[in-house]
Structure 1
Amino acid sequence: MPRRVLLPLLLAAVLSACGGDDDAVPVVVSAPVSTEPWIARSITNGAKLAVDEINAAGGLTLARDERRPLKLVTLDNASSPATALANAREAVDRKAAILITDGTGARAIGDLTDRAHLPAFVVFEGGAGLIDPQRHPTVFRLAPADAIMTRRLADYIANQLPKVAMITDDSGYGTQGRAALRDAFTVDEVQVVSDQVIPRRAQDLAPQILQAKRSGADRLVVWASAADVAATLEAVAKAGWDVPVLSGQTGEDPLIRQRLVAHPEYLSRLRFVSSRITAEMGPKPFNQFRARYERAVGVDEVGVQQDGRDVIQPPDWPMYPYDAVKLAAEAAKDAGALGAPLVQALNDGTRITGANGDQRAYNRDYHEGVSPQDTYFARYEGFEFVPVVDDPLSGTLPKVNQLR
């Protein structure tokens, strides 16, 4: 059975390196398994590798050299805030060491995790309202914030004096992204000539694209699910509109390439802003992480081919949940306990070197884990994405292999 078929089945299961051990401490993942499989797979696989490595080294270190194994539990939140909140309650009931989430329902989750002294890490969504250290001292983000990515995007295009058409979907991701885009474009005095909200996973975007085209826009910015990004690219091509398209981090979701497998040329107009894969020190740390990841989890196949070779997804987003688990384990070691002492250690600055060589740490007043210098722009060459050359930071980054 192909790997892309097996993975969703594996995601729904309880994953554990020591599954039958009643003494094992849960690490709970709440992810959109049934609605956004790439996001869920990235979160689960990154966390799984960290759990397995910690267990292989003897387990979680607590007080008096006490060692306890970890077990990974993946729960489907189906992109529903209510389900995400129920998953957080289950994490509390299970006495989990840490909750890792894509960000769905994060505002409500914070009220719950604060009372339970359960550290929660948002590892995908970047909305400004999700992170508030004073209100929610247990909620941390280890992913680029929308404010960072949208400001970088605005800076990237501002000198060209563009006329921008915006398309966002009605999900939390799209709604939060729309607010951040609006703020960034206001600061950089970028003219927005069209602003439309579409349903999540819209089927036909021809009317919206026609309206955007008629507005006189010469840039199209879409902040939406991968399915909507793919639908936008298809509708733009069918409308015969020669316009650059820019997106957020969903632009690298394999679903887009799968949907456009018959038309790789549609991808050539897309640029996306995301977190850079390799750090300032170079690609060596990421390559070492990637080797461990692919040995343990396997190669993530995109499901398309280029030049007769399989296109594979580099494990860039799995780095965040991996680092979250490793950071929480280090904080538990510093604190000598789970719960409130672990949260205190995180807020006091427990630090690790992350999977790609970047430093990971927080303090009580700052719960963001990715800096503006850690974001870049990518474009597509066929079905591979590569750093752009017309952005100073992106142009210094190496290409990451995506063929085998």
Structure 2
Amino acid sequence: MNQARRGRAATTLAATALLAACGGASGIGAGSNRILVALNVPTSADPYVAQIIGRGAQLAVAEANQKGGVSIAGRRYRLELRTYDDAGRPQQAAANVGAAIHDGAVAIVEDGIGATVSAPAGDAAGVPEIVIDNGDTGLMDPQSRPSLFRLGVANDAAASVLSMYLAGKTKSVAVLHDDSASGRDGGDQVKEALATGGATANPVIEVSAASPTIDTQIQQIAGSGAGAIVVWGSDTFTGRAVAAIRAAGVTTALFTGPAGESPAVRTVAGATATEGLRMVASRMTSESDASSFGQFEHRLAAAHLGPTDAGVKNAHGQEIRQPNDRDFFSYDAVNLIVAALKKTGSARPGSALIKAVASVHVPSANGDTRGFNPQNHEGVSDDDTYIAVIHDMQFQPVKDEPLSASLPDEDQILSDFH
């Protein structure tokens, strides 16, 4: 059994043991020495997203408990996680929030696909929801949705960075997005950002994520004369679109949002189609700290939560490792929840906890300082992103954009991870 497969098996066992330890709702709440944090993730619909949220949160919980738990007002509590499968459906995700609140969760770390629906329930119960994956720009609104926070790349931030890069290369860009709320918003944000940079988005085409083919849309794009194509949507949609565009013989340069780094894109589209694909990705290292991210990845491995096998190989047949560059958002989220609980002096949810989440800060797993403020519930800015390009099934910073060119390459050969 190779190192990656050992890691996957151990990860499964660790997660199973952790969830089994959570047990039922009994004991959560008054008189309990446990604090429950819920994970609301698409386990059955999008394992990649579920895993990036799950791994970071599991590590944060394990590290806190290894130190004797969380001390609040002179009393020690053990952190526990419980996972709720939203199956990639907004209504199920919203229902899961209600279930988690009923089960005694003090906070929810989630993909965020149902957050617009669940936010009133979270606010009423004093249970903060920290979104990791949904980039919908309008989702964060401290006035109307005070219980929602985001530790992930928002569409407007990603679109701004990508469009600035694109505008220096071409003045005409075709945009193809799926029909999810985040996909539509991403398309709108790219269009607006390109206009700000002096470029034009034309055509802008929406495709159902469930559509079996996109041949007609590809023909429209090919006939538009666009100098670049932006694909925005889920990782599966992105992979299918990239594969179809290249299969149709269209050689125009391809760009994507943050979903482009998912191994699913390379798995679905293949090595030839994804070669040269550029994307917006979250920074692995901070401006002043080049070592914390690597230490985080090794702590994941020590906890049997890594390294992460991307499931693809390079041209030499070497297995590729997926950097854990999004896992640290859920890790930071759990630590922010703990810091907020300590600030309130209570292990229970409530309006004070929501206010505390909006004001505390913690060291991030990548060396940054992570947190929010009462007027801004975004924990990741456009300065935290860069442009990456896929070469031989691995993604690295581009060399023709100043910030990206200043970042180190990450060794993604799985066997090199020690």
State the TM-score, normalized to the length of structure 1: 0.93
1:372 to 378, 382, 392: 382
1:346 aligns with 357
Deviation, 1:205, is 2.4
Output the amino acid matched with 2:356.
Answer: A
Match of 1:59 in 2: 69
Aligned to 1:165: 174
Q: Aligned residue for 2:274?
A: 267
Aligned AA (2:93): A
Separation in structure 2 between the aligned mates of residue 174 and residue 8 of structure 1, nearest angstrom: 31
The aligned amino acid for 1:400 is E
CA displacement at 1:295 relative to structure 2? 1.5
1:29 corresponding residue in structure 2:
39
Q: Which residue of 2 aligns with 1:225?
A: 234
CA deviation after TM superposition for structure 1 residue 204, in Å: 2.4
Q: Given the alignment, which residue of 372, 391, 394 partners 2:401? A: 391
Instruction: Name the SS of the counterpart of 1:269 in structure 2.
Output: coil
Per-residue Cα deviation, 1:201-238 (whole angstroms, up to 9, x for no partner)? 54322222111001111210010111222222222222
Kindly indicate whether the alpha-carbon contact (under 8 Å) linking 1:201 and 1:225 is maintained by their aligned counterparts in 2. no
Distance 2:329 2:211 in 1: 29
Cα separation, 2, equivalents of 1:381 and 1:308: 14
1:151-182 CA-to-partner distances (Å, cap 9, x unmatched) read: 11111111334311111001122122122222
Residue identity opposite 2:175 in structure 1: M
Tell me, what secondary structure is at the counterpart of 2:275? helix
1:15 is matched with 18
Aligned-partner SS, 1:365:
coil
Q: 1:299 aligns with which of 304, 307, 332?
A: 307
1:321 pairs, out of 330, 342, 347, with 330
CA distance in 2, matches of 1:143, 1:350: 17
Q: Distance in 1 between matches of 2:76 and 2:10?
A: 31
In structure 2, the CA distance between the partners of 1:201 and 1:52, relative to structure 1 (3 Å rule), is: farther
Report the AA paired with residue 144 of structure 1: V
Structure 2 residue aligned with 1:181:
190
Correspondence for 1:355:
365
- Contact 1:4–1:303 (Cα < 8 Å) also in 2: no
Among 294, 303, 310, the residue aligned to 1:287: 294
The one-letter amino acid of 1:223's match is W
- How many residue pairs get matched? 400
Query: Contact 2:276 / 2:391 at 8 angstroms: preserved in 1?
Result: no
Cα distance, 1:344 vs. partner?
A: 2.3
Shift of 1:45: 1.0
Deviation at 1:17, TM superposition (A): 8.5
Query: Does 2:56 match 1:46?
Result: yes
CA contact (8 A) 1:27 1:96 kept: yes
Q: Distance in 1 between matches of 2:137 and 2:246?
A: 33
- Which residue of structure 1 aligns with residue 84 of structure 2? 75
Q: Which amino acid aligns with 1:317?
A: R
Q: Which one of 111, 120, 131 corresponds to residue 120 of structure 2? A: 111
Match of 2:283 in 1: 276
CA RMSD between the two structures: 2.1
Any gaps of 5 or more consecutive residues in structure 2?
none
Change (3 A) 1:202 1:10: farther
Taking structure 2 as the reference length, what is the TM-score of the superposition? 0.90
Contiguous gaps of at least 5 residues in structure 1: none
CA contact (8 A) 1:203 1:231 kept: no
Describe the shift of the 1:300–1:202 C-alpha distance in structure 2 as closer, same or farther (beyond 3 A).
Answer: farther
Equivalent residue for 1:137? 146
CA drift of 1:8 comes to 10
Q: Which runs of 4+ in 1 moved over 4 A?
A: 1-14
* Secondary structure of the corresponding residue to residue 397 of structure 1: coil
Shift of 1:105: 1.2
CA apart distance, 1:18: 4.5
Q: Using the alignment, how far apart are the partners of 1:351 and 1:204 within structure 2?
A: 46
The one-letter amino acid paired with 2:194 is F
Cα deviation code 1:91-117 (max 9, x no counterpart): 111121210111111111211110000
The answer (yes or no) to whether the contact 1:27–1:73 under 8 Å persists in 2 is yes
- 1:98 corresponds to which of 103, 107, 112: 107
2 CA distance for matches of 1:8 and 1:401?
Answer: 22
